[in-house]
């Protein structure tokens, strides 16, 4: 196979996506260097999350905390609140831990090995930061790149078993010159042309080199092993509110939805707790939510009574915003609001 880096980089110079955390090829050619903080923040946010979902969060975070030192000094509860809705809340906890470690050290390290010692930074993220922020010749393989490589080399081994082979093949493509731009070019190719369904092969810059296109199986790759059915859990969430306040609790720092603001709940997360106060609770339709390893059916109980609570804190209504809740609890609030309207 010919050297594909010049071909792909030429395409990237003309078609790179405009993303708020990215330094464009033209700007890099003028000498502008990527900010490691912005690269790191975007990569953490993008883990298991789409670009469309991340964009507004990234802009809000970098407005509130424009540097890693600013984020390191941030209040934990505010960061968790701003993160609400992005999911995978261990990322937010690791985000703060990493920011504080980097601030204490005086900045981000440049090498993959040193980056990987920081909280929340694994093999993929360390490679991405090292390549994109510091132009180190590291191979960056996300889901988009896996798809490009599987099709380019016609790898028919199903994912996830194919991952080591795809990384090794991707490594053969990574150039020593402009590796950061090359990594982003591979991501952009997968996101915009080598799409999961109906790849636009006719306008792909690598179509002449694509083994799966030649074999007529591009749209079938990468193959995937069947996913096992997720187990289902059940639980209860209690929504207590008065004209002036809402009963909320801060979940334990570790574990499911760790560190987030939530309605008192039980039964689905390893706890077995009673209702947070004595009241006439009305049963509402349950909400359903999908986590990484299980699905959840959460019964919703509602009361408009106040009183002394065994769990949680009465939060003034004017200080409460459902936007500060994780996605599961937003669903619970929506269910309660609907019941109140009806």
Give the domain-ending residue among 151, 185, 220: 220
Statement to judge: residues 289 and 170 lie in one domain: no
Residue 256 — pLDDT band, cuts 50, 70, 90?
confident
167-183 pLDDT, tens digit per residue, is 999 999 999 999 999 99
> Is the C-alpha dihedral spanning 333, 334, 335, 337 positive or negative?
positive
Rg of the chain's alpha carbons, rounded to an integer? 23
Q: Residue 341: its pLDDT value, please?
A: 86
pLDDT at 258 over 90: no
Contact 227, 292 (CB under 8 A): no
pLDDT surpassing 90 at residue 89 = no
CA nearest neighbour of 59 among 323, 51, 257: 51
Percentage of residues in the chain with pLDDT exceeding 90?
A: 87
Specify if 212 maps to a domain: yes
Taking a C-beta distance cutoff of 8 angstroms, is the pair 72, 102 a contact? yes
Cβ atoms < 10 Å from Cβ of 40: 27
In whole angstroms, give the CA distance from residue 183 to residue 170. 10
Distances in whole angstroms, Cα of residue 176 to Cα of each of 2, 125, 131, 135, 153: 16, 19, 10, 9, 21
- Say how many domains are in the chain: 2
For residues 199 and 52, give the distance between their C-alpha atoms in angstroms, rounded to a whole number: 20
User: Where residue 281 sits, what CATH number does that domain have?
Assistant: 3.90.79.10
User: 62 and 132: one domain?
Assistant: yes
Q: Print the domain residue range for 117.
A: 5-220
pTM over 0.95: no
User: What are the Cα distances from residue 226, in Å, to 39, 42, 147, 160, 223?
Assistant: 34, 30, 17, 10, 10
- Whether the predicted pLDDT of 1 surpasses 80: no
Q: Note the pLDDT tens digit of each residue in 280-300.
A: 999 999 999 999 889 999 999
**Same domain as 192, residue 242:** no
226 lies in a domain? no
Residue 97 lies in a domain: yes
Question: Do 309 and 180 belong together in one domain?
Answer: no
Residue 129 counted as domain residue: yes
Could you give the CA distance from residue 213 to residue 154 in angstroms, rounded to a whole number? 8
Express each pLDDT in 34-50 by its tens digit: 999 999 999 999 998 89
Tokens read off for 16? 């790179």
CATH of the domain at 125: 1.10.340.30
Q: How confident is the model at residue 234 (pLDDT cuts 50, 70, 90)?
A: very high
What amino acid positions are annotated as catalytic residues?
Answer: 43
**pLDDT number for residue 86:** 87
pLDDT in tens, 311-325: 999 999 999 999 889
Summary mean pLDDT of the chain:
94
């Amino acid at each position: 196979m010919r050297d594909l880096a010049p071909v792909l980089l030429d395409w990237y110079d003309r078609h790179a996506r405009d993303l708020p955390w990215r330094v464009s090829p033209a700007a890099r050619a003028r000498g502008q260097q990527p900010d490691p903080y912005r690269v790191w923040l975007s990569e953490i946010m993008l883990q298991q999350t789409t670009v469309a979902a991340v964009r507004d969060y990234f802009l809000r975070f970098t407005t509130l905390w424009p540097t890693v030192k600013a984020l390191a000094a941030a209040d934990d509860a505010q960061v968790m609140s701003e993160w609400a809705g992005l999911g995978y809340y261990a990322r937010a906890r690791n985000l703060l831990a990493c920011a504080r470690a980097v601030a204490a050290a005086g900045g981000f390290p440049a090498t993959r090995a040193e980056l990987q010692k920081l909280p929340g930074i694994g093999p993929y993220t360390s490679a991405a930061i090292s390549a994109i922020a510091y132009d180190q010749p590291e191979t960056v393989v996300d889901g988009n790149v896996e798809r490009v490589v599987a099709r380019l080399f016609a790898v028919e081994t199903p994912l996830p078993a194919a991952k080591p082979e795809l990384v090794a093949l991707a490594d053969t493509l990574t150039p020593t010159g402009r590796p950061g731009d090359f990594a982003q070019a591979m991501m952009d190719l997968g996101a915009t042309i080598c799409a999961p369904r109906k790849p636009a092969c006719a306008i792909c810059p690598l179509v002449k080199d694509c083994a799966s296109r030649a074999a007529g199986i591009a749209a079938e790759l990468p193959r995937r092993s069947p996913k096992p059915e997720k187990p289902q859990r059940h639980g209860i969430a209690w929504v207590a509110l008065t004209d002036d306040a809402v009963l909320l609790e801060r979940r334990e720092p570790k574990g499911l939805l760790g560190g987030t603001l939530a309605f008192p709940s039980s039964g689905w997360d390893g706890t077995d707790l009673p209702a947070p106060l004595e009241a006439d609770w009305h049963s509402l339709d349950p909400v359903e939510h999908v986590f990484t390893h299980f699905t959840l059916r959460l019964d919703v109980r509602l009361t408009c009574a106040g009183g002394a609570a065994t769990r949680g804190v009465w939060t003034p209504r004017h200080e409460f915003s459902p936007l500060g809740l994780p996605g599961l609890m937003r669903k619970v609030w929506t269910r309660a609001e609907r019941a109140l309207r009806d």
